[in-house]
């Protein structure tokens, strides 16, 4: 594996430069396969060795690189050492490369491949709380909620694979004036039957209607305020209606999340933290940190000069709490309940300031653990529409993805033999949706495009699934070929070497992902792997090759399938076996 080679090269460097080998481990990187050009396997930049004093920082860097390369003799593992513009390149023995990379796939899936790398040791393995999705009851589930759902799920999967204990949390918008309106309007516009049949849709309809009504009808507006006040005062009738709305909504979401392959350990929400919010206010008051503004609101001064030039409002003039007040209480409560070592919030970038202020206030209150809280922001999605129009519910997007994919699949032959085409279409459609979303930096906005994302060729989630299914089919068809013996010297072709070199990078990719929590590293790694596999399919036939060659090739394909499936699962895609 990558570690074996990195360690050997580091030892060599350590001996030559009389340093501890450990300093070279993170500095050695596997060389990416580019445009199918042959290359060495690892490289080391000489510049950083000069800046940290391992090499003299004066003199011509190219000469120094060449000199160092000449000092590093080849051996049984490292076959060639060369200098190239400020870099030392290391080429390892080809047979050993195949042997070490493919060893973990001997019997089984090599599940730990890449994860047992020493590069990942620098990440603490504690409890991670990831809060994501967090839609608002009776309101639209917009593209931002979809993004939060899939990004949060990816982060939770990643942390879990890295060995962390993960708590997946959904923080529902289950409090606020919308319940006043719903409560006031349900008697007039609500229908128990519709609520049963299509709860999300019906609650949304009632909410939209009563909202409109309240705009010009003061009685409705008053009734809504009244209802919300009853709720805040825990009057039992109001609370029981609220509870019913919340319960059916959660049940409905659970079902839809399941289709997406997403789950939560905890469903909580803003409603849980009203009392806590008032305690927070009291605490800040007693410590003199809560000021009263001219408007009569309660604010915390966040300006560095202490001149109130930047404040955060925690209390309305009527004494009710706000979104941020509940968030402060929620964070403290989570720390006490779950003892997390880190907490990650996933929302769109419009809430960056909110989380910045939240963290600042928690720090002011003396909660130093907030330094291990992080907001992962993402950009906007433009044009997410279905055939019937604007998206209001998550399920509309899932249905559309499945229908479109089913249509595309029906144009090919294999679908006819499939047992559960709708199921496969759903998984492939999800994959398409995710890859479109995950390909670029999360902070970038992007335009939603059904046709482009569902293309079978090109860098799409369909292509990932197609490649995985094709590898599965190859493995199925070669049953009986896989034997006990495996001769790594039978994979000398460059096409195969490219795949091995690419697999060599997997631990670095996981490492980058763990650092910045961006899914694009894994997406691009997987897409590249699929392109390399496509060439190998053409050039390295299993069928018709001598038994021992067929065995070696099959092992290579099995490893590629396994790593591809592993990467897909972290991204939140369930790989299909046929399509
Ligand atoms: N419900 C909020 C919204 O739809 C997102 C909640 C984000 N999480 C939080 N702890 N504030 O905008």
Answer whether 178 contacts ligand 1 (Cβ < 6 A).
no
Three-class SS state of 475? helix
Mutation pick for ligand 1 pocket among 145, 272, 351 (CB with most ligand atoms within 8 Å)? 351
Active site residues: 139, 142, 145
Q: Length of the chain, please? A: 579
Does pLDDT of 413 surpass 70? no
Q: Is the CB of residue 112 less than 8 Å from the CB of residue 118?
A: no
| Region 276-298 average pLDDT | 95
Q: Which domains can be identified in the chain, with CATH numbers?
A: 2-92 (3.30.1360.70), 127-378 (3.40.50.620), 395-571 (1.10.730.10)
Please give the distance, rounded to the nearest whole angstrom, from the Cα atom of residue 299 to the centre of ligand 1.
21
Distance 354 CA to ligand 1 centre (A): 10
Partner residues linked to 30 by β-bridges: 42
Distance from C-alpha of 90 to C-alpha of 69, rounded to nearest angstrom:
9
Q: Is any atom of ligand 1 closer than 6 Å to the C-beta of 134?
A: yes
Q: What percent of the chain has pLDDT over 90?
A: 83
Average pLDDT over residues 193-220: 91
Q: Is the minimum distance from the CB of 327 to ligand 1 under 6 angstroms?
A: yes
289 CA distance to ligand 1 middle (Å): 25
Which residue puts its alpha carbon closest to atom 6 of ligand 1? 134
User: Per-residue pLDDT tens for 171-193?
Assistant: 999 998 889 999 999 988 999 99
Phi, psi angles (nearest 5°) of residue 290: -100, 120
User: pLDDT tens digit string along 41-90?
Assistant: 999 999 999 998 999 998 899 999 999 999 998 999 999 999 988 999 99
Q: What is the per-residue pLDDT for 480?
A: 80
Reply yes or no on whether the pLDDT at 390 is more than 90.
no
How many angstroms separate the alpha carbon of residue 56 from the centre of ligand 1? 53
What pLDDT is recorded for position 181?
Answer: 93
Provide the pLDDT for residue 476. 94
Quick check: CB of 173 below 6 Å from ligand 1? yes
Give the per-residue pLDDT at 408. 93
| Cβ 347 under 6 angstroms from ligand 1 | yes
What does the mean pLDDT of the chain come to? Answer: 94
Rounded Cα–Cα distance for residues 73 and 55 (Å): 18
In this structure, the residue with its CA closest to atom 4 of ligand 1 is 135
Q: Which residue has the higher pLDDT, 229 or 567?
A: 567
Determine the atom of ligand 1 nearest the C-alpha atom of 348.
12
Burial class (CB within 10 angstroms; exposed 0-12, middle 13-18, buried 19+) of 208 = middle
Q: What mean pLDDT is predicted for residues 262-270?
A: 97
What b/e sequence results for 336-358 when a residue is b if at least 16 CB atoms lie within 10 Å of its CB, and e otherwise? eebebebbbbbbbbebeebbebb
Angle between helices 520-539 and 461-477 (to 10 degrees): 40
Evaluate if residue 291 carries a pLDDT over 90. yes
Contact 204 CB / ligand 1 (< 6 Å): no
Question: Model confidence at 414, in pLDDT bands (50, 70, 90)?
Answer: low
Ligand 1 centroid from CA 349, angstroms: 12
> How high is the pLDDT of residue 416?
64
pLDDT at residue 392, rounded to an integer: 83
Is the pTM value of this prediction over 0.85?
A: yes
pLDDT tens readout for residues 539-554:
999 999 999 999 999 9
**Does residue 270's CB lie within 6 angstroms of at least one atom of ligand 1?**
no
Alpha-carbon torsion, ordered 573, 463, 413, 537, to 10 deg: -120
Distance 173 CA to ligand 1 centre (A): 7
Residue 484 has pLDDT above 80, yes or no: no
Query: What are the pLDDT digits (tens) for 140-173?
Result: 888 999 999 999 999 999 999 999 999 999 999 9
What is the Å distance from ligand 1's center to 326 Cα? 11
pLDDT at position 19 is: 94
Residue of 129, 145, 334, 347 with the most ligand 1 atoms within 8 Å of its CB, for mutation: 347
Given a cut of 70, whether residue 251 has pLDDT beyond it is yes
Q: Is 325 in the pocket of ligand 1 (CB under 6 A)?
A: no
pLDDT of 415 reads: 63
pLDDT-derived band at 507 (thresholds 50, 70, 90) equals very high
pLDDT tens-digit map of 104-150: 998 778 889 999 999 999 999 999 999 999 999 988 888 999 999 99
φ, ψ of residue 228 to 5 degrees: the values are -65, -35
Q: Count the helix, strand and coil residues of the chain and give each as a percent rounded to the nearest 5.
A: 60, 15, 30
Q: Is the distance from the beta carbon of residue 345 to the nearest atom of ligand 1 less than 6 Å?
A: yes
């Amino acid at each position: 594996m990558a570690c074996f080679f990195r360690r050997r090269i580091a030892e060599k460097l350590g001996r030559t430069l009389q340093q501890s080998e450990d300093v070279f481990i993170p500095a050695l990187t596997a060389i990416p396969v580019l445009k199918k050009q042959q290359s060495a396997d690892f490289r080391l930049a000489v510049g950083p060795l000069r800046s940290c004093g391992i090499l003299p920082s004066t003199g011509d860097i190219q000469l120094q690189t060449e000199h160092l390369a000449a000092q590093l003799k080849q051996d049984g593992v490292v076959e060639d050492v060369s200098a190239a513009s400020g870099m030392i390149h290391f080429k390892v023995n080809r047979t050993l490369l195949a042997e070490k990379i493919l060893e973990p796939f001997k019997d089984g899936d090599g599940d730990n491949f890449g994860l047992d790398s020493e590069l990942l040791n620098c990440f603490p393995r504690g409890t991670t709380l990831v809060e994501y999705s967090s839609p608002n009851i009776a309101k639209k589930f917009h593209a931002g909620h979809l993004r939060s759902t899939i990004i949060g799920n990816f982060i939770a999967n990643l942390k879990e694979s890295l060995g962390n204990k993960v708590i997946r949390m959904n923080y529902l918008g289950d409090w606020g004036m919308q319940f006043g309106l719903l409560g006031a309007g349900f008697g007039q516009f609500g229908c128990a039957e519709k609520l049963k049949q299509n709860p999300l849709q019906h609650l949304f309809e009632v909410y939209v209607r009563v909202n409109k009504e309240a705009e010009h009808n003061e009685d409705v507006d008053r009734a809504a305020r009244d209802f919300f006040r009853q709720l805040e005062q825990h009057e039992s009738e109001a609370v029981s209606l609220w509870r019913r709305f919340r319960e059916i909504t959660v049940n409905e979401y659970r079902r839809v999340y399941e289709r997406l392959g997403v789950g939560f350990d905890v469903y909580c929400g803003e409603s849980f933290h009203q009392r806590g919010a008032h305690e927070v206010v009291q605490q800040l008051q007693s410590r003199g940190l809560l000021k009263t503004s001219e408007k009569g609101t309660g604010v915390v001064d966040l300006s560095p000069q202490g001149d109130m030039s930047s404040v955060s409002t925690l209390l309305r003039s009527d004494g009710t709490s706000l979104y941020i007040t509940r968030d402060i209480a929620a964070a403290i409560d989570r720390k006490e309940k779950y003892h997390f070592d880190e907490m990650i919030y996933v929302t769109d970038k419009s809430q960056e300031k909110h989380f910045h202020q939240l963290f600042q206030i928690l720090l002011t209150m003396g909660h130093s653990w907030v330094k291990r809280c992080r907001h992962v922001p993402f950009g906007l999605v433009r044009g997410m529409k279905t055939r019937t129009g604007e998206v209001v519910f998550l399920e509309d997007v899932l249905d559309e993805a499945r229908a479109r994919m089913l249509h595309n699949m029906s144009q090919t032959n294999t679908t006819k033999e499939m047992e559960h085409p709708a199921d496969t279409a759903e998984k492939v459609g999800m994959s398409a949706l995710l890859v479109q979303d995950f390909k670029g930096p999360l902070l970038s906005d992007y335009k939603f495009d059904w046709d482009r994302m569902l293309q079978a060729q090109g860098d799409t989630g369909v292509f990932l699934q197609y490649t995985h299914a094709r590898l599965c089919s190859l493995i199925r068809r070669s049953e009986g070929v896989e034997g006990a013996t495996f001769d790594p010297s039978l994979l000398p072709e460059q096409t195969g070497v490219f795949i091995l070199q690419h697999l060599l990078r997997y631990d670095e990719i996981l490492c980058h992902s763990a650092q910045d929590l961006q899914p694009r590293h894994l997406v691009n790694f997987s897409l590249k792997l699929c392109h390399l596999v496509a060439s190998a399919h053409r050039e390295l036939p299993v069928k018709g090759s001598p038994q021992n060659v067929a065995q070696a090739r099959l092992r290579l394909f099995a490893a590629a399938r396994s790593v591809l499936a592993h990467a897909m699962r972290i991204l939140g895609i369930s790989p299909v076996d046929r399509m």
